[in-house]
Amino acid sequence: MINPMDLTDRTILVTGASSGIGRETAILLSQLGARLILVGRNREQLEKTLLVLDGTAHQVSVFDLSYVDDIPRWMKEVSSANGPLDALVHSAGVQFTRPLRIISFESIDALMSINVSAAIFLAKAFRQKEVCAQGGGSLVYLSSVMGLVGQSGQSVYSASKGALVTLTKSLALELSRENIRVNCVAPAMVRTAMSEKMLQLLTPEQSEKIEAMHPLGLGNPEDVANAIAFLLADTGRWITGTTLVVDGGYTAH
C-alpha cells in the first residue's frame, strides 16, 4: 500500500528544531523517511533532537535567524554541504504578551525580525537554484490563531503572525511558476514547555478559562506536526497559499 505522506529521500530544513513544535515536526518527518537539517541557536538542544530522530543522515546547523541578511549565504552553504532542499519549515519564532503602553520600538523590531523578516529571507534563499531541488519544493510557515483573531496584549505578536498569513498568499502566487508551494499552519495554544510555564503563572481559574476557549481542549505539538507533514507531503501537492487552522475549535467562537 502506498503511503501518500511518505517523505523518503526528501531533504527538509526545519528552523526552531531545538524544542516544542519544531522538534516534534522534525521527529515526525524523520519517521516519514525525510532527511532533516535541524536549525536553531542552541547546539546542545539541537543535538537532543537529533538523538530522537529516525534514520542517521540528519544534520545540525547552528544559525541565528536574527542575522537576516546572512540567510541566503548560509542557505547556500547548507545546500552545498547536504544537497538541494526539497522543503523548508519555519517554526522558529518569538512571542511576548505586552500591553500597548509599554511596547518599545526595540521589542517590535526584535519580534518582527524573526517572525516576519526571517520568513521572507528564508523564502528568498529557498528559491535559489543552488538551494531548491530541481522540480520545485514546499515551504511551510508557522503562524498562529493570533494572526486571525485579536487579543489584548498581543498586538505586536498578532501583527507578525497575521503578516505570515498574507505573506503566504503572495509568495504562493509569485513562486508557483517555480513549482514551489507556500502554505501556513495556524495553531492555538499547544502544550509545550513554554506554554506550561506560562500556565503555571496563572491562577487555576485563569487556566481553566483559557482551556475552555478551546472546545477540544489544548493541543499537543504532534497535532501541529501532523498538519505540517500533510502540507509537505504529496497529500498537499495541490495546496498552496492556504492557512491550515489547527486550533481545537478556538476560532469557531
Structural domain boundaries in the chain: 11-190+220-245
Say what the pLDDT of residue 172 is.
Answer: 98
Burial string for 31-58 (b: 16+ CB within 10 Å, else e) reads: ebbbbbbbbbeeeebbeebbeebeeeeb
| pLDDT score of 98 more than 80 | no
CATH 3.40.350.10 at 11-190+220-245, yes or no: no
| pLDDT score of 199 more than 80 | no
pLDDT digits (tens, 9 = 90+) for 113-151: 999 999 999 999 999 988 998 889 999 999 999 999 988
Q: Is 67 a catalytic residue?
A: no
Out of 67, 141, 157, 250, which one is annotated catalytic? 157
| pLDDT score of 1 more than 90 | no
Helix axes 71-82, 118-126, angle to 10 degrees: 40
- Cβ atoms within 10 Å of 135's Cβ, excluding its own: 10
Contacts of 200 (CB under 8 A, 6+ apart): none
Say what the pLDDT of residue 230 is.
Answer: 98
Say what the pLDDT of residue 54 is.
Answer: 95
| CA-based nearest residue to 36, from 21, 55, 19 | 55
pLDDT digits (tens, 9 = 90+) for 38-97: 999 999 999 999 999 999 899 999 999 999 999 999 999 999 999 999 999 999 988 777
